[in-house]
Amino acid sequence: MAIGIDIGGTNLRAARVSGTGEILDRISEKSAPDPELVLSRIAEMVRRLDSPEVAAIGIGVPGRVDARAGAVLSGGYVNLASVSLAQRLESLAGKVVIDNDCNMALVAEMALGAARGHESIVMFTIGTGIGGAVVQDRRIVRGKATAGQLGHITVDMSGEACVCGRRGCVETTSSGTALGRHIARAGLGPDVSVDQLIARDASGDPLARGVLEAWAGPLRAAIDTTVAMFDPDLVLLGGGLGLAAHRALARAPALAPWYQCPVEAARLGDDAGVIGAGLQALASQPVVAQVAVAQASPVSLPTARLDRTRRAVRSRRAVLVNGIPASGKSTVARGIAERMGWPLLALDTIKNPFLEVLGGGDRDFNRTLGRASYQAIWSVVGEAPAGAIFVVDAWFGFQPRQVLEDHLRRAGVEQTAEIWCHAPGEVLAERYRARLDQRPAGHPGATYIPELVELANRAEPLRRGSLFDVDTTKPIAFDAIAQWLQATIAADR
């Protein structure tokens, strides 16, 4: 195990982290602008968390970090450039690994969070300041030493002075500190939270709307810039205000058709920094130790490149035909299976015979049977020959994401592609109502329809691997889907 440390402008967090990324113990302290005070608090946290099993320390540091040299080059709200951080901590618990705090957070999201299964990712962490990280081919982009300082993308040449010495960096417009300035300039009280702003905006408050647009608009410009530069699979928004910023971006949609990319909120919250730091520290250990970590962990070492030429056995693959009930996914899944010649496994195909034989049941029983059927699907996949490709028809959002990842790992599925099926809520309601008399007892009845409509408004694809969007109110372009699948999931059979 390792100790992971996340240094923030407001809080210092530390945790003892296992090789699987599990937090075994945690503590936190307030941050400070004095680097010596920060170092003494970190040293005390390390002493409290240390144990004989701890092999290394990982530290996520705000600002410019030369990870190869283990040196802090500059900082923002917490500047540790004047402190020999690694050397002064190595005597406490062995090897110390230092990297930018956003790099550490992205490592965790790749291993356990929203970036799992993606190859190319850009991440902004939004807190006291704004951090950034870029991954291509599941490797952190470092440039000469410190690439990825996305908080210092210029969005206003004549804007606020930034701690980096320039003006108009996105950190000066779209960080938590900047949000406080926007609120004050709008004449709103200092106790107004971002959640209150979003609620007030929804009720038509022009002041709240102006604050959110001033906060989110420059962030959208920075996102579009990184998309144009790196063409990532995914843009993640993390940090303490990542989820709020994701919601606020509804006021600042991407306008240019060339610079479109899915933008999601990170999933690990404040734990991402310490988990990523711990995993990076363990990954830096000698090869024998890394193998032990990899064998104990459900995820691969987070900075390792996938080398397809060295794969001894072809893994299984799955086409995830995803969508909420009545979204048309079963029609799409059958069409794919017929055209591609791949076996189809559908949740209802497994579940319905049990409902018919058992005579139905209440909604809780239906959900329990659904979970068992879900497990049965992946058990069948796991027993198939290496190299097999399955079409799996399910609403994958009915279970936590980690449940799917665990099933895929146990079934030996390395590559997935997703077909996202959707239609407006009112269309789904009519479809569901029309099929009520065709479904076995145990499925939710007409009382489920309002819930289904609400679900349609918030349901999103997994975005695990490549994604093909299907609006099932239009004729389904099966030829285009088949060509896409040949290019994405069947190309290296």
3-state SS track over the chain: CEEEEEECCCEEEEEEECCCCCEEEEEEEECCCCHHHHHHHHHHHHHHHCCCCCCEEEEEECCEEECCCCEEEECCCCCCCCCCHHHHHHHHHCEEEEEEHHHHHHHHHHHHCCCCCCCCEEEEEECCCEEEEEEECCEECCCCCCCCCHHHCECCCCCCECCCCCECECHHHHCHHHHHHHHHHCCCCCCCCHHHHHHHHHCCCHHHHHHHHHHHHHHHHHHHHHHHHHCCCEEEEECCCHHHHHHHHHHCCCCCCCCCCCEEECCCHHHHHHHHHHHHHHHCCCHHHHHHHHHHCCCCCCCCCCCHHHCCCCCEEEEEEECCCCCCHHHHHHHHHHHHCCCEEEHHHHHHHHHHHHCCCCHHHHHHHHHHHHHHHHHHHHHCCCCCEEEEEECHHHCCHHHHHHHHHHHCEEEEEEEEEECCHHHHHHHHHHCHHHCCECECCHHHHHHHHHHHHHCCCCCCCEEEEEECCCCCCHHHHHHHHHHHCCCCC
Q: What is the pLDDT of residue 392?
A: 96
245 and 125 part of one domain: yes
Do residues 329 and 312 both lie within one domain?
yes
- Note whether residue 211 is domain-resident: yes
State the residue for tokens 């030829």: 479
Distance CA 326, CA 389 (A): 25
Same domain, 54 and 133: no
Of 257, 286, 306, which marks where a domain is finished?
Answer: 306
Tell whether 73 and 152 lie within a shared domain.
Answer: no
- Cα–Cα distance between 395 and 399 in angstroms, integer? 9
In a domain, 228, yes or no: yes
**Of 145, 110, 220, whose CA–CA distance to 464 is shortest?**
110
Same domain, 5 and 76: yes
Tell me, yes or no, whether 160 and 187 share the same domain.
Answer: yes
Same domain for 212 and 249? yes
Last residue of a domain, one of 306, 330, 356: 306
Q: Which residues of the chain have pLDDT under 50?
A: 287-313, 492-493
- The predicted pLDDT at position 309 comes to 32
Domain count, the chain: 3
Q: Which of 24, 98, 102, 116 is nearest to 302 (CA)?
A: 116
Q: How many residues does the chain have?
A: 493
313 and 462 assigned to the same domain: yes
Q: What is the Rg, in whole angstroms, of the alpha carbon atoms belonging to the chain?
A: 24
Q: What digits encode the pLDDT tens for the residues 243-302?
A: 999 999 988 988 788 888 999 999 998 899 999 999 999 887 754 344 444 433 333 444
For residues 108 and 124, state if they share a domain.
no
Residues 165 and 277 in one domain: no
Task: Check whether residue 360 and residue 421 sit in a common domain.
Answer: yes
| Dihedral pair phi/psi, residue 74, rounded to 5° | -165, 165
| CA distance linking residue 311 with residue 377, whole number of Å | 25
pLDDT of residue 311: 33
- Tell whether 36 is covered by a domain: yes
Domain that includes residue 368, residue range? 308-488
* Residue 289, domain CATH: 3.30.420.40
Residue 165 covered by a domain: yes
Same domain, 390 and 480: yes
Tokens of 337: 């299976």
The predicted pLDDT at position 254 comes to 85
pLDDT value of residue 448: 82
Q: Flag whether 493 is in a domain.
A: no
> What pLDDT score does 446 carry?
86
Does 73 fall in a domain? Answer: yes
Which of 215, 236, 267 is at the close of a domain? 267
pLDDT in the model for residue 286: 59
